[in-house]
Structure 1
């Protein structure tokens, strides 16, 4: 027996999810920014710190110079140095799903020399309309969780 449908709905295959094997803890990733591993935490050392810690140089960028204190100088530093887009940050690439330090999962939205911008879901709430929020992550702890 044939059934008659009101609408012909084409079946669409779900988008392919890119899965990458996470880097083992304690191993320095090949990255466009410098990478250091100290006291079981992975991070990108700044210029002052890189002079005194053992680190892997970045493929495209040197350690980030120290930020100035003056507001206008800081804004220029942020635009010309820190927020320069990169293909990855410490092995994180756009689209990667990571675990934050509080145990929530987040998706990498973009990467720059300073860190990676991630988007995570917010719990339902009556006093706000947003379902998601964004934050920077700049380091990974010994459990594989990312934080700022």
Structure 2
């Protein structure tokens, strides 16, 4: 019979590491939950008003995002019911992916929605702010593979 002593530490299995995915080749349309288009060397998700004008791959779960209305109440409703709906990916980006962002260096994808992907990136040291990181949306990738 085995007894536990004060210094026995149970060994828990390590969580499975997220598999590293190869970045999507430039010019290739990703399999995504949102529509994907490649136009003038930029990858983006076309909105409803431009989807009919460009060749695009339909989204697996969502049609093109409707155009945002004007007016604060209508826009707020559109944001809650259309644009900020969570998705499993955005143009191939998934939560936890590390990407390069124009003017921000590398960033980590925090979440994805129909409008884009929220990324978190490190800010340079500065005595005027108390935050070390910032977040922003990225909605497109340029011909060099950097998101903006």
Structure 2 unaligned regions, length at least 5: 1-13
Partner of 1:101: 102
What is the TM-score normalised by the length of structure 2? 0.88
TM-score calculated relative to the size of structure 1: 0.88
Q: Aligned runs of 1:49-128 on 2, under 5 Å? A: 49-102=50-103, 104-128=105-129
User: Which has the larger displacement, 18-27 or 88-97?
Assistant: 18-27
Q: Could you report, residue by residue, the CA deviation over 1:4-27 in whole angstroms, capped at 9, with x for unpaired residues?
A: xxxxxxxxx898353110110000
Instruction: Specify the alignment match of 1:45 in structure 2.
Output: 46
- Is 1:32 the counterpart of 2:15 in the alignment? no
Q: Residues 71-121 of structure 1, C-alpha deviation per residue, up to 9 Å, x if partnerless?
A: 100000000000000000000000000001126000000000000000000
- Contact 1:103–1:145, Cα closer than 8 Å, also in 2: no
Pair 123,14 (structure 1): closer, same or farther in 2 beyond 3 Å: farther
For 1:85 and 1:144, locate their aligned partners in 2 and report how far apart those are by CA, in whole Å: 24
Unaligned stretches of 5+ residues in structure 1: 1-12
Whole-angstrom CA distance in 2 between matches of 1:102 and 1:50: 28
Residue 133 of structure 1: SS of its match in structure 2? strand
Classify 1:14/1:88 alpha carbon distance in 2 versus 1 (closer, same or farther; 3 Å): closer
Secondary structure of the equivalent of 2:17?
Answer: coil
Maintained 8 Å contact 1:98/1:145: yes
1:46/1:66 contact within 8 Å kept:
yes
Partner SS for 2:81: helix
Q: State the number of aligned residues.
A: 141
Contact 2:99–2:108 (CA under 8 A) maintained in structure 1 = yes
1:127: how far off? 1.1
Cα RMSD, aligned residues only = 2.2
> 8 Å contact 1:46–1:63 — kept in the other structure?
yes
3-state SS, counterpart of residue 93 of structure 2:
coil
Runs of at least 4 residues off by over 2 Å: 13-18
Instruction: Tell me the SS of whatever aligns to 1:146.
Output: coil
